[in-house]
């Protein structure tokens, strides 16, 4: 394959002993926000991640190899190039029906699922956009949304990707949701997912950042982006919250939590809860967040619930362990 072709992805496969699985997967997730796939063998696992063609790809490959060689000296590496269309379909076999929480169930558009009473089902085709509900950052945000969304709320989803968080807020009772992303392809995917779910009247998807909100304020803001982006936008996000509003800030690992918390508290907000899943962190922040978030959930370091998969559709299992796909 012509390596100058921009429509390509590098599949990086790392075979490691089973005991190194979680540590190696966490390292890859830090370098590849779209997550990983994990294929289990008898004594080892193969963890795969997918890197888009970019100018900094050689540097990123070297950084990953250095980190993993130190962590798992016996690791075996394999790489291959995939065209975008091949990659876009290959990962779908790793995306089953998922129970994300007691109420939320995620069903890929290419699978079938019979909803049970009281379930809020989201049908999703993430395409090339980030957000399948399996990555720890997305899962923690979904769990927080289930705790915090109240009927009639206005919600802003900043960096919406596939639209999964915006759709979840709508399914949980939000009256209006504005989903923003700077990636035009993600915007089109999120709009299509809103249409698939019949939520176009509730979820509005626009290209851009906070400026597209045009000074509007919201009861709840969810930003599953990155530590640096949240720090840069802290003042604007605080201004976008109504009195008593709550911010769900995610997308960063433990080292990013302190600067994010400092930037947000400098605006007058208060960190009321820290959710954790491995090295990943999500902060619940607001002037009156404590009144909304149940006391049992506010302890710092509370683990997020894990999604469980159903390989054949039908009934989705209860929350448990998740294995993210390459989106």
136-189 residue pLDDT tens: 888 899 999 999 999 999 999 999 988 999 999 999 999 999 999 988 888 999
> Quick check: is 324 in a domain?
no
Q: Are residues 168 and 280 in the same domain?
A: yes
Q: Are residues 82 and 167 in the same domain?
A: no
**Domain count of the fold of the chain:** 2
Q: Are residues 140 and 278 in the same domain?
A: yes
CB 233: neighbour CB atoms within 10 A?
A: 19
Instruction: Provide the 3-class DSSP secondary structure of residue 280.
Output: strand
Strand partners, 252: 281
Q: For residue 35, what is the DSSP state?
A: -
Domain of 188, CATH number, reads 3.40.50.150
Q: 291 CB contacts (<8 Å, ≥6 apart)?
A: 244
pLDDT for position 112: 83
Most confident option among 86-90, 198-202, 277-281:
198-202
* Distance in angstroms (rounded) separating the CA atoms of residues 28 and 22: 10
251 lies in which domain range? 135-304
pTM: 0.68
Closest of 208, 210, 232 to residue 222, by C-alpha = 210
- Tokens encoding 123: 């049908």
Name the pairing type of β-strands 8-17 and 44-52.
antiparallel
- Interval 47-102: pLDDT, tens: 888 777 765 678 877 888 888 888 888 888 888 887 766 655 666 666 678 888 77
- Tokens encoding 53: 């063609």
């Amino acid at each position: 394959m012509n390596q100058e072709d921009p429509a390509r992805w590098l599949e990086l496969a790392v075979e490691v002993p089973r005991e190194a699985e979680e540590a190696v997967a966490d390292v890859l997730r830090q370098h590849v926000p779209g997550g990983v796939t994990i294929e289990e063998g008898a004594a080892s696992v193969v963890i795969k991640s997918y890197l888009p063609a970019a100018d900094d790809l050689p540097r990123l490959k070297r950084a990953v190899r250095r980190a993993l060689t130190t962590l798992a000296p016996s690791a075996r590496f394999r790489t291959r190039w995939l065209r975008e269309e091949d990659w876009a379909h290959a990962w779908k076999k790793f995306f089953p029906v998922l129970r994300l929480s007691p109420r939320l169930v995620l069903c890929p558009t290419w699978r079938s699922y019979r909803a049970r009473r009281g379930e809020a089902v989201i049908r999703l085709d993430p395409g090339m956009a980030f957000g399948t509900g399996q990555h720890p950052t997305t899962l923690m945000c979904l769990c927080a949304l289930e705790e915090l969304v109240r009927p009639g709320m206005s919600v802003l989803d900043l960096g919406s990707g596939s639209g999964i968080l915006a759709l979840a807020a709508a399914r949980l009772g939000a009256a209006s949701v504005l989903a923003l992303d700077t990636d035009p392809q993600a915007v089109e995917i999120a709009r299509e997912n809103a249409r698939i779910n019949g939520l176009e009247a509730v979820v509005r998807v626009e290209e851009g950042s906070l400026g597209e909100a045009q000074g509007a304020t919201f009861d709840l803001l969810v930003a599953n982006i990155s530590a640096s982006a949240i720090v840069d936008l802290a003042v604007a996000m605080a201004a976008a919250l109504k009195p008593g509003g709550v911010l769900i800030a995610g997308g960063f690992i433990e080292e990013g939590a302190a600067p994010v918390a400092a930037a947000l508290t400098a605006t007058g907000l208060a960190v009321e809860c820290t959710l954790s899943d491995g090295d990943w962190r999500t902060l619940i922040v607001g002037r009156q967040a404590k009144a909304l978030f149940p006391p049992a959930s506010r302890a710092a370091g509370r683990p997020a619930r894990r999604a469980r998969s159903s390989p054949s559709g039908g009934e989705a299992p209860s929350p448990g362990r998740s294995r993210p796909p390459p989106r």
